[in-house]
């Protein structure tokens, strides 16, 4: 039985490996290089505490002000606003108290499983060295800033995720380069980092091919079907015959589901990072500063700074002013941070309005499955998604109730 996995990011590569291991003959297909999209530029964080709904009122009520601020953490390009209205209406609908509680539970159910699935995957593939032991520090100037982030802490208490409050001095014992303006920090010990997320994806792809998996490049132009899926058509090439197709093409997944008459309300949250190879400082932990909306991670041989969201669709040119904003903010936390020998990057994170991924069989076409919409948690959820999709596709009972993640929930 041939399974074609469309999308060679961390989600698709992990699923391809899992299915090949379980006896499927898998073709991993992408129009670009393995791990070359959002998996290349993510913030390298296994962010198990970051499952809070983005639609909670404390966030969406700030969005109008953010959009008027050219340096705000969320930016919507004016010309794209009309296209975003239906998605944003669903986003606001997901802020109802009863729905928020459901979304929290759906995210927590996945995050609770992360290390149960990730650690065995890394061990069996010999990639354990890609995961660091250090956690993440969340920074606050004072009690007022910490209070503004209280809904985050309350959610962690509700689902029993560990954290530890630190004074500014204690935080600087862990990371001496932190500014003395930091009065309080919260350590999330389970939010460990990757030494290089691009290297991780490619290492996993090598293990996949060693098992007999096939990696191909091609631009999908259509999906053939009769009473079920039969082939994936490629631009300028022979179709790839398929008994099953798994669509996990990130922010591009909606274009593919549309070919099957199964539209999904998927948007791209365009993310930016700056990879600094000569930062002038060293770090062990990742850091976030919620009030200033940035993250810094030591990864890929340097220090990576990111944390902004731009809504502008799949085709608009990058606006690297977004990267420069986050670097300036990072330097308020790390005064000695130098931005030398650096590159800037923009990529597309796939986002559903309720911030819950789809991991599901198609509701319309037998043999088609979806795994997309992981938002900021693609690398966090990758091993768990592979385990759950492997069970779903091969007919085993997944260890998690999969109904909340179905494609026809919208």
List pLDDT tens digits, range 184-243.
999 999 999 999 999 999 999 999 999 999 999 999 999 999 999 999 999 988 899 999
DSSP string, 132-172: -S--EEEEESSHHHHHHTHHHHHHHHHHT---EEEEHHHHH
| pLDDT at res. 252 | 97
User: Which token pair is 67?
Assistant: 């959009």
Query: What pTM was estimated for this model as a whole?
Result: 0.96
Smallest CA-to-CA distance from 152 within 171, 138, 166 is with: 138
| pLDDT at res. 160 | 97
Q: What is the mean pLDDT of residues 266-293?
A: 96
Report whether pLDDT(247) > 90: yes
**Which tens digits make up the pLDDT trace of 94-147?**
989 899 999 999 999 999 999 999 999 999 999 999 999 999 999 999 999 999
Q: What percent of the chain has pLDDT over 90?
A: 89
By the 8 A CB rule, do 24 and 265 touch? Answer: no
User: Which token pair is 138?
Assistant: 């969340």
Residues 6+ apart with CB under 8 A from 222: 232, 233, 259
**Which tens digits make up the pLDDT trace of 289-329?**
999 999 999 999 999 999 888 999 999 999 999 999 999 99
| pLDDT at res. 313 | 95
**Lowest mean pLDDT, pick from 65-69, 170-174, 351-355:** 65-69
Report residue 398's pLDDT band, with 50, 70 and 90 as the boundaries.
very high
Please give the mean pLDDT across all residues of the chain. 95
- Which parts of 226-285 are beta strand (E)? 229-234, 240-241, 244-247, 267-278
Report whether pLDDT(59) > 90: no
Instruction: Name 27's bridge partners.
Output: 4, 214
Report whether pLDDT(68) > 70: no
Report whether pLDDT(60) > 90: no
- Which parts of 153-266 are beta strand (E)? 164-167, 184-188, 214-217, 220-225, 229-234, 240-241, 244-247
Report residue 61's pLDDT band, with 50, 70 and 90 as the boundaries.
low
> In Å, what is the CA distance from 117 to each residue of 41, 123, 209, 321, 386?
23, 10, 21, 38, 9
Residue the block writes with tokens 């995961």? 131
By the 8 A CB rule, do 135 and 285 touch? Answer: yes
| pLDDT at res. 71 | 74
| pLDDT at res. 67 | 66
Q: What is the mean pLDDT of residues 34-53?
A: 95
Residue that wins the pLDDT comparison between 68 and 14: 14
């Amino acid at each position: 039985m041939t399974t074609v996995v469309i999308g060679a990011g961390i989600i698709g590569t992990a699923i391809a490996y899992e299915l090949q291991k379980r006896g499927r003959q898998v073709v991993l297909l992408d129009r670009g290089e393995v791990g070359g999209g959002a998996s290349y530029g993510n913030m390298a964080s296994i962010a198990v505490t970051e499952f809070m709904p983005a639609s909670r009122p404390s966030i969406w009520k700030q969005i109008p002000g953010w959009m008027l601020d050219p340096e705000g953490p969320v930016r919507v390009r004016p010309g794209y606003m009309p296209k975003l209205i239906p998605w944003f209406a669903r986003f606001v609908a997901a802020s109802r108290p009863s729905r928020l509680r459901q979304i929290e539970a759906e995210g927590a159910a996945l995050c609770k499983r992360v290390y149960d699935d990730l650690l065995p995957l890394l061990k069996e593939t010999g990639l354990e060295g890609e995961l660091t032991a250090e956690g993440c520090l969340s920074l606050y100037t004072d009690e007022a800033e910490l209070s503004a982030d209280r809904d985050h802490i309350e959610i962690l208490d509700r689902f029993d995720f560990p954290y530890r409050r630190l004074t500014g001095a204690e935080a600087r014992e862990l990371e001496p380069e932190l500014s003395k303006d930091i009065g309080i920090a919260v350590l999330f010990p389970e939010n460990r980092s990757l030494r290089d997320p691009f290297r991780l994806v490619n290492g996993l792809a090598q293990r996949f091919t060693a098992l007999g998996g096939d990696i191909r490049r091609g631009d999908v132009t259509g999906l053939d079907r009769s009473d079920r899926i039969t082939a994936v058509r490629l631009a300028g090439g022979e179709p790839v015959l398929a008994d099953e197709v798994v669509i996990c093409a990130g922010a591009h997944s909606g274009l593919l589901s549309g070919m099957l008459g199964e539209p999904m309300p998927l948007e791209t949250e365009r993310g930016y990072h700056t990879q600094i190879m000569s930062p002038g400082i060293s770090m062990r932990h990742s850091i976030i500063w919620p009030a200033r909306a940035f993250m810094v991670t030591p990864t890929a041989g340097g220090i990576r700074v990111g944390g902004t969201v731009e809504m502008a669709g799949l085709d608009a040119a990058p606006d690297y002013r977004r990267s420069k904003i986050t670097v300036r903010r990072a330097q308020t936390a790390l005064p000695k941070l130098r931005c030398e020998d650096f590159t800037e990057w923009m990529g597309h994170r796939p986002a559903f309005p309720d911030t819950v991924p789809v991991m599901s069989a198609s509701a319309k076409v037998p043999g088609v499955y979806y795994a997309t919409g992981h938002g900021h948690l693609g690398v966090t959820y990758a091993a768990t998604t592979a385990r759950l999709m492997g069970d779903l596709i091969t007919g085993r009972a997944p260890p998690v109730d999969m109904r909340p993640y179905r494609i026809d929930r919208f």
